[in-house]
Structure 1
Amino acid sequence: MTQTSAVLREGQRAIPPEIIVLAGCLIALITFGPRAAAGLFQIPMTEAYGWGRDVFSLAIAVQNLLWGLGQPFAGAVADKFGAVRVICIGALLYAAGLVVMAYATSAGLLNLGAGIMIGFGLSGCSFNLVLGAFGKLLPERWRPLAFGAGTAAGSFGQFLFPPIGNALIQSFGFEMALIVFAASVLLVLPLSLALATRGAAATAAVNAGPSQSIAQALAEAFRHPSYVFLVLGFFTCGFQLAFITAHMPAYLKDTGLPVWVGGWTLAVIGLANAVGSLYSGFLSSRMSKRWLLSLIYLGRSVAIAAFILLPATPVTAIAFGITIGLLWLSTVPPTSALVMLMFGTRYMAMLYGFAFFSHQVGGFLGVWLGGILYESMGSYTFVWWLSVALGVASAIINLPIKERPVERPVPQAA
């Protein structure tokens, strides 16, 4: 039994690692699914209310930004007091936001529901909190694969929800589709009980190094160049993913392809991502994490460039979905593993949360620029090529990262 397991068993009923991983994966699947299907609602909602794509894009951009902004604070609260209450509050806010979005007849209500409520809700219940709980609850040998499994489960949610959403929209309208999605998010509440962590006071004993406050942990992290490089590189991941998620169905429709192609492209991205994330988790424990990240970002740039240069057909769209899906969230296992390697598990949820904030700033700009530039230029071409350039930049910026724990002064004996 590891020291971590022993500490967490003291004073509370032990939960088998298999149950922890299963519950965490189901939470990731459920919470990632509806937001991954957001692009399906752009055309029916803009047509119903006469909005431009920039209106819908702004709401989803705000969602991405607030998801990232709330993540460090949600992570800090989970690190300090435990994960269950944070996850439950996040799930309730997320479900309420989907209901508001269903009946949003004005841009203001759309921004409230799809933007503010879902954004802050995701910050409290998405796979980021799950990965933080995995780092605290699981033995060390379980962690790399669990990080990959948790990320892959979120990806499988992306595979399941877009086809379901498409079918619900076609059969019952977008309002009912959003209500069904809201009901599914409430399943997170009972699942969260398996991720009960005891907060910083109970886990301090299992972390090497001196005792730290939150302020000291943040100061240490942002003085560490490798962490800064990691955070900056993660910006590109958010830009690319959010742009594709929000605008791919509309982009494919503009090329003359039927609506089902957009839904199934998002779905195969999710399915391929489940494979890519698991394999990335496997590779994270067997090769240099910085090189793995660099190759992922470079591979994305090549895939996007090939996609926009080739004629748009159902075959090229699905092939792109499979290719980009294998690289979709495969950045998460090595990124989270590097954060844990550098700083330990005590403040992992918070420090990964700041990296994720950079990711979501990129997501905000990807979605928002997609809508703004489409309305001004009449196409998505500029944003596609910007995604390619950012991928190359992130491939380069990850190379100087040093894969070792941060150097801390050794306490001297009295």
Structure 2
Amino acid sequence: MSAENQDSSSLFSVERWKSAYYGWYLVPVYGVVMLVATTPLFHAMGIWAVAMERAFGWNRTQLSLALSFTRVEGGILGPIEGYLIDKFGTRRMVLIGMLIMGAGWVLFSRINHLFVFYAAYLVIALGQGLGSWLALNTMLNNWFVRRRSFAMGASNSFSRLGSLFLVPVLAWLVDPDIPHRLGWSLTALILGGITIAVAFPLTRLLRNRPEDYGLLPDGDTHEDLVRRSREADERGETLESGPDFTVSQALRSRAFWFISLGHGFTSMVLLAFMLHLAPMMTDQNYSLQTASFVVSAYTAVSMVFQLIGGYVGDRIPKNVALMMFTMCQAAGVFYLTFGPPTLVTAYGFALLFGIGFGGRNPISSSIRGDYFGRQHYGKIMGISQVPMNVLLLIGPVFAGYMRDSTGTYTVAFAVLGALAVVGGFCFLMATKPRSPDQDRVSSIS
């Protein structure tokens, strides 16, 4: 018997938690793993950038390259990560990923040279790629079909709730302008220890597929399926089990490429702002703590709109919903770029950006499950990261280079806002492809 099929007396057994569908227990676990894996690395990256700039004098382009190197790594390893997740399951990959992340934060605490900074970021990003977003979304894609967008939105809201408090705490701990704080080195070392310590208990709660435990997606029973099939027959319809595209079939669909490009354009904007928002505000003579509050503000808004986006994505065409939320994200970028450099503008940006980013985030993952199915989701998502990461590696470096060259972020942010609009139209063009079964029926007839 595998480690995942433990006896019912175990605290971590699915049998012990069957009073409710176990998929819903996975939602907060997903949120906690994502909090540990992504908040210090991505949502707080602007805080680390300010600390590194003050400690070593590196410019914005040099700092941005660290993030771009991680995207090169992600583009190369994305298909491999997807294959490993489909082959070995979410639990094993999350455990391995979190242990690698912990080691990366320990290395980060020993930074004494620019190349050590790059190496530490690459190690952390490798662990994050193996053990967070792709692996966890693959798991939820297996456990939910009809409630897929809402489940992904709820899980991300849990992680945003933690980020809401963690980002200001990290800013307080590493602020280089205030003496007698822990500083960036000791804070990174503590993060590494925490990541390693929580890896084992968290991953014990993860489960790959409901069918492994005699369950069905969404908590349905066989009686539910019979009833829904009968109701569909009465309406003259058929009850679809959902598509299951192979990797090659997905790659031949235009929807795969439009989704990948839309996700890439909108995420390159997000990554650029995660890195450069705090440095931009310190350029405007705001404190690092004030900048962290603005980050927390858009995090709080996105937390709410993860749920709203998940709800909307289960009820209207997902490509339309993605376009709507992406335009809101772009509006926030333009408002910050061309508005006066005041806190009112910063918090207005946080509102619009949080609505757009939060709303589109669960849908951009669930749309692939709806379009391409469950069986090869990890591989398809992994390959999708190749064109996405090509775009992601450009955004932060472009913004840093333009800031170093012109002294402001105006040109960079205006271009990134325009690219977000392009991403919105890419999403709109990503209409649902015909399933392989439909194509076979058409060819026979």
TM-score using structure 2 length: 0.82
- 2:97 and 2:126 in contact (8 A); partners too: yes
Q: Is the 8 A contact 1:27 1:126 kept in 2?
A: yes
1:93 corresponds to: 100
1:273-288 superposed matches below 5 A: 273-288=302-317
Does 2:211 correspond to 1:197? no
Which residue of structure 2 lines up, in the alignment, with residue 334 of structure 1?
Answer: 363
CA distance in 2, matches of 1:396, 1:198: 34
Q: Secondary structure of the residue that 1:354 maps to in structure 2? A: helix
Residue 175 of structure 1 is matched in structure 2 by 185
Name whichever of 120-129 and 66-75 sits farther off.
66-75
Contact 1:341 / 1:404 at 8 angstroms: preserved in 2?
A: no
1:3-18 maps to which residues of 2 (within 5 A)? 13-14=13-14, 16-18=22-24
For the 8 Å contact 1:98–1:178, the answer to whether it is kept is yes
Does the Cα contact within 8 Å between 1:127 and 1:154 map onto a contact in 2? no
Displacement after TM superposition at 1:85 (Å):
1.4
Q: Do 1:127 and 1:151's aligned partners in 2 also have CA atoms closer than 8 Å?
A: no
Structure-2 residue corresponding to 1:105: 112
1:105-163 CA-to-partner distances (Å, cap 9, x unmatched) read 1111111001x101211101223321110122x24344232111122233334322211
**How many angstroms apart in 1 are the aligned matches of 2:32 and 2:358?**
17
- The one-letter amino acid of 1:60's match is L
State the Cα distance separating 1:199 from its structure 2 match: 11
Query: In structure 2, how many angstroms separate the alpha carbons of the residues matched to 1:158 and 1:68?
Result: 26
State the Cα deviation string for residues 53-90 of structure 1 (Å, max 9, x = none).
22221112212442454333222211122111111111
* 8 A contact 2:139–2:209 mirrored in 1: no
1:20 to 23, 26, 47: 26
Name the counterpart of 2:325. Answer: 296
Relative to structure 1, is the Cα distance of residues 308 and 363 closer, same or farther in structure 2, using a 3 angstrom cutoff?
same
CA distances 1:275-323 after superposition (whole Å, capped 9, x unpaired): 1111100101111111111112211222211222111122221231132
**8 Å contact from structure 2 (residues 328, 355) kept in 1:** no
Distance 1:200 1:113 in 2: 39
1:97 and 1:184 mapped to 2: Cα distance? 12
Segments of 4+ moved more than 6 angstroms = 8-12, 198-203, 209-212
1:390 and 2:411 equivalent? no
In structure 1, the residue matched to 2:289 is 260
Q: Secondary structure of the equivalent of 1:294? A: helix
Preserved contact between residue 244 and residue 373 of structure 2 (Cα < 8 Å): no
Distance 1:405 1:96, change over 3 A: farther
Asked if the contact 2:61–2:397 (Cα under 8 Å) also holds between the matched residues in 1, the reply is: yes
Helix, strand or coil for the counterpart of 1:399?
helix
Match of 1:346 among 366, 375, 390: 375
Pick the aligned partner of 1:130 from 136, 139, 151.
136
> How much is the aligned-residue C-alpha RMSD, in angstroms?
2.9
Unaligned runs of 5+ in 2: 176-180, 218-239
Structure-2 residue corresponding to 1:188: 199
One-letter amino acid of the structure 2 residue matched with residue 248 of structure 1: L
Question: In 2, Cα distance between the equivalents of 1:93 and 1:9?
Answer: 26
Q: Call closer, same or farther: CA 1:103–1:389 in 2, change over 3 Å.
A: same
Sequence identity (%): 21
Residue number in structure 2 paired with 1:367: 396
Deviations 1:149-203 (A, max 9, x none): 1222333343222111111113111111212222332323321222232699999
Opposite residue 48 of structure 1, the aligned amino acid is A
Residue 314 (structure 1) aligned to one of 343, 346, 356 = 343
Alignment of 1:137-176 (within 5 A): 138-170=143-175, 171-176=181-186
The runs of 5 or more residues in structure 1 that have no matched partner are 1-7
Name the residue aligned to 2:51: 44
CA distance in 2, matches of 1:69, 1:28: 22
Which shifted more, 283-292 or 352-361? 352-361
What is aligned with 1:3? none
Aligned pairs, number = 399
Asked if structure 1 preserves the Cα contact closer than 8 Å seen for 2:95 and 2:131, the reply is yes
Determine helix, strand or coil for the equivalent of 1:140: coil
Q: Is the 8 A contact 1:239 1:364 kept in 2?
A: yes
Task: Please tell me whether the aligned partners of residues 234 and 358 of structure 1 are also in contact (alpha carbons under 8 angstroms).
Answer: no
**Letter aligned with residue 95 of structure 1:** G
| Secondary structure of residue in 1 paired with 2:204 | helix
Q: Distance in 2 between matches of 1:256 and 1:210?
A: 53
User: Contact (CA 8 Å) 2:255, 2:433: kept in 1 or not?
Assistant: no
Q: Deviations over 1:8-60 (max 9, x none)?
A: 98999535223222212211222121111011011221221222222221112
TM (norm. structure 1) is 0.88
Tell me, in whole angstroms, the C-alpha distance in 2 between the residues paired with 1:277 and 1:72: 27
